Amino acid sequence: MFRFLRPLGRSVTYTRWLHLSMPVAVYGIWLFIDMEKPYVPFLALLLIGLIPAVRLAEGIQVQLLVVPKERGRHDATVSAAPSASWGERWRTVMWLEIRLALALVTMVISVWLPIVAYELVSASMGHGTSDLPVLRGPAPHWWWSALAPLPVLLMLGCVAPLGELDAAIARRLLGPSKEERLTALEERTERLLERNRIAREIHDSIGHALTVAVVQAGAARAAGDPAFTARALAAIEETGRAALDDLERVLLVLRESGGPVGQRPTLDEADRLLESARASGAKVESELSGPLALVPGPVSREGYRILQEALTNVLRHSGPVPVRVRIAVLGERLELDVTNPLAGSMPKVQGGSGLRGIRERAALLGGEARSGPQEGEWRVRVRLPLDGLR
The pLDDT tens digits for 246-300 are: 677 666 656 655 445 455 678 888 887 787 777 666 788 999 888 888 888 888 8
The winner for highest mean pLDDT among 85-99, 224-238, 339-353, 374-388 is 85-99
Question: Quick one: pLDDT at residue 380?
Answer: 92
Q: Is pLDDT above 70 for 352?
A: no
Question: Quick one: pLDDT at residue 383?
Answer: 92
Rounded Cα gap, residues 213 and 240, in angstroms: 8
Backbone angles phi, psi at 289, to 5 degrees: -140, 155
Please choose, from the candidates 355, 334, 341, the residue with its C-alpha nearest in 3D space to the C-alpha of residue 288.
334
Q: How confident is the model at residue 211 (pLDDT cuts 50, 70, 90)?
A: low
Span of 7-11, 130-134, 246-250, 275-279 with lowest mean pLDDT = 130-134
> What percentage of the chain has pLDDT greater than the value 70?
75
| Helix, strand, or coil (residue 9) | helix
Dihedral angle computed from the Cα positions of residues 56, 60, 65 and 68, in that order, rounded to the nearest 10 degrees: 130
Mean pLDDT across 122-138: 60
Rounded Cα gap, residues 304 and 292, in angstroms: 11
Please choose, from the candidates 313, 352, 358, the residue with its C-alpha nearest in 3D space to the C-alpha of residue 204.
352
Question: Quick one: pLDDT at residue 96?
Answer: 92
Q: How confident is the model at residue 390 (pLDDT cuts 50, 70, 90)?
A: very low
Q: List C-alpha distances in Å: 167 to 14, 35, 73, 139, 172.
A: 13, 30, 16, 46, 9
> What percentage of the chain has pLDDT greater than the value 90?
9
**Residues 380 and 358 sit within 8 Å (Cβ to Cβ):** yes
More confident residue, 162 or 204: 162
Q: Is pLDDT above 50 for 386?
A: yes
Question: Quick one: pLDDT at residue 347?
Answer: 46
Rounded Cα gap, residues 325 and 342, in angstroms: 15
Question: Quick one: pLDDT at residue 184?
Answer: 67
Rounded Cα gap, residues 300 and 286, in angstroms: 17
**Neighbouring C-beta atoms of residue 273, cutoff 10 Å:** 21
Backbone angles phi, psi at 378, to 5 degrees: -105, 130
Span of 128-132, 220-224, 266-270 with lowest mean pLDDT = 128-132
Q: List C-alpha distances in Å: 81 to 86, 88, 186, 262, 361.
A: 14, 10, 18, 17, 29
| Helix, strand, or coil (residue 377) | strand
Pairing label, strands 284-289, 323-330 = parallel
Sign of CA dihedral 153, 154, 156, 157: positive
Go through 287-310 and write b for each residue having 16 or more CB atoms within 10 A of its CB, e for each that does not. Answer: eeeeebeebbebbbbbbbbbbbbb
Mean pLDDT across 162-189: 79
Q: Is pLDDT above 60 for 129?
A: no
Rounded Cα gap, residues 173 and 93, in angstroms: 9
Burial zone of 262 (CB within 10 Å; 0-12 exposed, 13-18 middle, 19+ buried): exposed
